Amino acid sequence: MFGFTGKILHINLTTGTSKTIPTEKYKRWGGGHGMGSALFWDLCEDKTITDGRDSKNVVCIATSPFSGTNVPSAGGRCEVVGVGVGLYPVSWFTRSNFGGRFSATMKYAGWDAIVISGKAAQPVWLDIRNDSVNIRSAKDIWGKDTKTTQESIWQTVEEETETIDGWQQLPTPKGSGYSTQKPAVLAIGPAGENQVATACLVHDAGNGAGQGGFGAVWGSKNLKAISFYGTGSVEIADPAALVQARFDAKEFYAGDVDNPDASHWGPFGKPAKPVLFCDEPSKKRRTQSCQGCINGCRGRYDIGYGNEVSCQETSWYSSFAQKWVKGDKQKASAIIMRSGELCNRLGINTYPLGEGLHWLEHLYHEGLLGPDKAISSSLDWEKIGSPEFAEQFLQAIATGNDIGKDLIDGWVQAAYKWGREEDHKTGKLQFPYWGMPEHGYDPRAELEWGFETIMCDRDMNSHCFNWIFWQANISILFGQRPFLAADKLAEIVTSKLAPYVDSPAALDYSTPNMYSDDVMQLTRWHIHYSRFWKNSTLLCDFRWADLFNTHTPDSHGATGSEKAGEHVFWNAVTGDTMSLADGLEIGKQIWALDNAIWTLQGRHRDVVKFADYIYDQPFTKGELLPFFFWPCRDEKGEWHYQDVMRRSLDRDKFEDWKSRFYTLEGCDPETGWPTRTSLAAMDLAFVADELEKNQRIGKEG
């Protein structure tokens, strides 16, 4: 079985037992998310639960055939699925994804996925070394941050493993294996232990499965950490083809750090460089990456802090810190990097913190929050932006004290608890979908981001098309002509979206085209692409899909290419003969299975809606920039980059959009529930049986 190890590990924490499930049955899903959803379907006995902290919840951490290989920007990604925590109105079956080397090490240890069910009576951690599986007491590490926890487990494993000639020696069924590496540990911090809705899973210094509240899920199960240590290999169907494709990916598509091209457009071709929303804290650093990455996006520094802190971890406190130090960028950087690192140590998802803290600051200035105020908090709100405040605030969130007490169940939930539902409706609390914060790409402007998120379970966080926003708007910000003209870009991008899209119009986000079938097909392509190629084969969202890439003569990206396309890597690793579109078909099936789970959880199309402000108020204030340019056609059909701010969604038109979407996905447009015919056509009749038993099967069209 190429690409897979052939074994899935199922741990029942209630009984303290483990068993092995053959991977064969789950191979059809590719790995990652699809495999996880299928395992959840089979192993979660009550799929009506809507709080991930329920002991009946089943959480699955899954690898893919790419994990542990050199497939560019894929070898180290890992997917987590299960019922989430802190979403609104209920917590759906959801997903999160993180990088590093955890999935690779899981594969080297001989496992394709690990499924956790039940709840341990006492805090435990899982110690997996090749075939040996041990459920161990976490008494000594409970209460510790994620760094201390991981270092403690590294030390324990190292002390218990014989070191021979500088190599750690591990028994395997094929004789002693040897490794120079450290065990790969995925852990929760105090936030997870306290079952805080925004708690995440952290691996190494800066890899977090943030969204979905899986830290709280682990906390509820008394699961502190999972450690994998392995000395095995991933069998590859066509190693020579894989190596060649990886060479080609570098030669033709990747960025060259020794000759960086500032004008380059496209995700795959970016050179290795930490992605920060502040100045780099030190030049003495490396760009650090997940295993197998084509070009990393984080740094490790010589200054004793900030290792692997990047992107949103540096964004949430950025504006507060900049204000506090009155524009001193280096001082701000130190505060921002330290507060980002503290989030990782405490195991807090930084996403809600940015939008959330702006809202709390607003409540403070309104006199509604503070010492002896309606919303009681004794934090030093006058010092917001300072390192001291960040420390106080994050400790409160992680421990559920002070302001953190009411935020344990989620931010929108807190707004309702405090009688501030108006803030959610008016957008003072910018959490537009499923109780999650706006990502910087408002659904009223970046249509696919919002549409996909609402048709799924959480902030989509899939940047395939979003790179257009960054490339075009940064050019415009610096007064430059966009490197790729709007018409050219639309043509290149949409040429990659077969068989869903046959017209460049799919990229036209102008107001008249917002609800068109073309844009809908682009959205569907993206859901299915993300469900399979990103979340199941585990290509990194930050580098894939590579739709456009100005390193190539025709500016076409690696996606779908015969040199270094997704399917080229898949076929080399597994020996299949799949096309990019075949993968999309599996993505469609994965969404159908997910939708069936949501249906059992109680989803009906009526709850599939944005917060009111998305419909009722025009988008006027950009989170990142004061404008939001996107390729659009004017009345004459000419393409331009056009600012798509200052508009809102239309309820009726979006409801009609949903009906058409559900129909295309084989669901009953009245309820959004899957139909038997469409499920059977996808070889999912067993899903239809379960839905029928629960009287939740969609009516045939």
Partner 1 sequence: MSGKAGSTINRRTFLKALGAAGIAASAGGAILLPGNLLVMPHSEGFLVVDMGKCMGCGTCMTTCSLTHHGKASLSLSRIQIEQNSFANWPDDITMSICRQCKDAPCVSACPVNANHVDSENGMVRRIDPDRCIGCMQCIAACPYLPKRLQWDPVQRKVQKCDLCVDTPYLKEKGGPGNTQACVKVCPVGAIAFIDKMPDQKSPHGYEVNLRGKGWEKTGGSREDLHSKS
Partner 2 sequence: MENKIRVSLCMAFFFLFFSGSAQDCLAAVQGEAGREVSFLFDTLSWLLFAAAFTGILLGGLIPRTDPYIDKDRVWRHDLSAKFSHWTHAGGCILLLVSAVGLGFFFLPRLVPGVSGAAWLMDLHFIGALLFVFGGFFWAANTIISPYRFTEHMPDGGSLIEGLTHYAHIFKLTQKRVRPTKYNGSERLAFVPIVLVAALLILTGFIKILPRMMDIPTALLASSTWVHDASALFMLILFFFHVLLAAVVPWSWPLLKSMFTGHVSLEFAQDEHASWVEQLNKKDSTEEKS
In sequence order, the 6+-apart residues with CB closer than 8 A to the CB of 120 are 13, 14, 16, 135, 221, 222, 223
Asked if residue 204 binds partner 1 (CB under 8 A), the reply is: yes
Q: Is 260 helix (H, G, I), strand (E, B) or coil?
A: coil
CB of 547 to partner 2, least distance (A): 47
DSSP code per residue over 689-700:
HHHHHTT-PBPP
**What residues line the site for partner 2 (CB under 8 A)?**
162, 164-165, 169, 172-176
Min separation Cβ 122 and partner 1, Å: 27
x/- letters, 95..134, toward partner 1 (CB under 8 A): -----xx--x---x--------------------------
Closest CB to partner 1 among 171 and 622?
A: 171
Residue with tokens 């932006």: 385
Query: CA-to-CA distance for 575 and 569, rounded, in angstroms?
Result: 10
CA separation (Å) from 317 to 278, 349, 636? 10, 13, 44
| Residue 221 CB contacts under 8 Å (≥ 6 apart), including other chains | 13, 55, 57, 59, 116, 118, 119, 120
CB of 129 to partner 2, least distance (A): 14
* H or E stretch at 81: strand 78-83
Tell me the window of 26-34, 234-242, 431-439, 544-552 that interacts with partner 1 (CB under 8 A).
Answer: 234-242
Q: Which stretch binds partner 1 (CB under 8 A): 200-208, 317-325, 400-408, 561-569?
A: 200-208
171 vs 575, which CB is nearer to partner 2?
A: 171
Write out the binding residues for partner 1, residues 416-435 only, by CB under 8 A.
none
**Which of partner 2, partner 1, none is residue 524 near (CB under 5 to 8 Å by kind)?**
none
Task: Rank residues 57 and 70 by Cβ distance to partner 1 and give the closer one.
Answer: 70
Q: How far is the CB of 172 from partner 2 (least distance, A)?
A: 8
Q: Of the two residues 80 and 245, which places its CB atom closer to partner 1 in the complex? A: 245
**Among residue numbers 299 through 318, which ones bind partner 1 (CB under 8 A)?**
300-304, 307-308
- Exposure string (b/e) for 363-380, b if CB count within 10 Å is 16 or more? bbeeebbbeeeebebebe
If one asks whether residue 165 binds partner 1 (CB under 8 A), the answer comes out as yes
Please check whether residue 683 is in contact with residue 650, taking contact to mean a CB–CB distance below 8 angstroms: no
Give the strand pairing for 298-301 and 207-209: unpaired
**Site for partner 1 contains 650 (CB under 8 A):** no
421 interface partner picked from partner 1, partner 2, none, CB below 5 to 8 A per type: none
SS3 state of residue 423: helix
The one-character DSSP state at 56 is T
**In the complex, minimum distance from the CB of residue 19 to partner 2, in angstroms, rounded to a whole number:** 24
Task: Return the residue of 42, 140, 280, 582 that touches partner 1, per CB under 8 A.
Answer: 280
> Of the candidates 45, 122, 180, 326, which one interacts with partner 1 according to CB under 8 A?
180
Taking CB under 8 A as the binding criterion, the range among 178-186, 328-336, 408-416, 445-453 that sits at the site for partner 1 is 178-186
**End-to-end C-alpha distance for the chain, whole angstroms:** 40
17/163 with CB nearer partner 2:
163
Among positions 590-649, residues that touch partner 1 (CB under 8 A) are none
In the list 36, 183, 292, 427, the residue contacting partner 1 (rule: CB under 8 A) is 292
Asked whether 306 and 341 are in contact (CB, 8 A), the reply is: yes
Judged by beta carbon distances under 5 to 8 A according to partner kind, the member of partner 1, partner 2, none in contact with residue 437 is: none
Query: Which amino acid, residue 669?
Result: P
What torsion, rounded to 10 degrees, do the Cα atoms 54, 356, 544, 213 define? -10
Nearer to partner 2, 2 or 178 (CB): 178
Is 151 or 670 the residue whose CB approaches partner 1 more closely? 151
Given the rule CB under 8 A, which of 120-128, 282-290, 317-325, 506-514 is the region that contacts partner 1?
Answer: 282-290
Taking CB under 8 A as the criterion, the residue among 61, 200, 234, 369 binding partner 1 is 234
Our CB check for partner 1 shows the closer of 78 and 85 to be 78
Binds 481: which of partner 1, partner 2, none (CB < 5-8 Å by kind): none
Show contacts with partner 1 in window 355-374 (CB under 8 A): none
Asked whether 1 and 107 are in contact (CB, 8 A), the reply is no
Which residue type occupies 528? H
Residue 178 interacts with partner 1 (CB under 8 A)?
A: yes
Q: Is residue 144 a contact residue for partner 1 (CB under 8 A)?
A: no
Give me the helices (H) in 366-515, please: 387-399, 404-407, 411-417, 421-426, 447-455, 466-477, 486-495
Q: Find out whether 543 and 537 touch, Cβ atoms under 8 Å.
A: no
Distance between CA atoms of residues 72 and 438, nearest Å: 29
CB of residue 326 vs partner 1: minimum separation in angstroms? 24
Torsion on CA atoms 492, 496, 497, 501, rounded to nearest 10: 50
Specify the pairing of strand 201-203 against strand 184-187: antiparallel
When asked if residue 175 is in the footprint of partner 1 (CB under 8 A), the reply is yes
With CB under 5 to 8 Å by kind, the binding choice for 162 among partner 1, partner 2, none is partner 2
In Å, how far are 374, 418, 429, 431 from 411, measured between CA atoms?
17, 11, 9, 9
Which of partner 1, partner 2, none sits in contact with 68, Cβ below 5 to 8 A by type?
Answer: partner 1
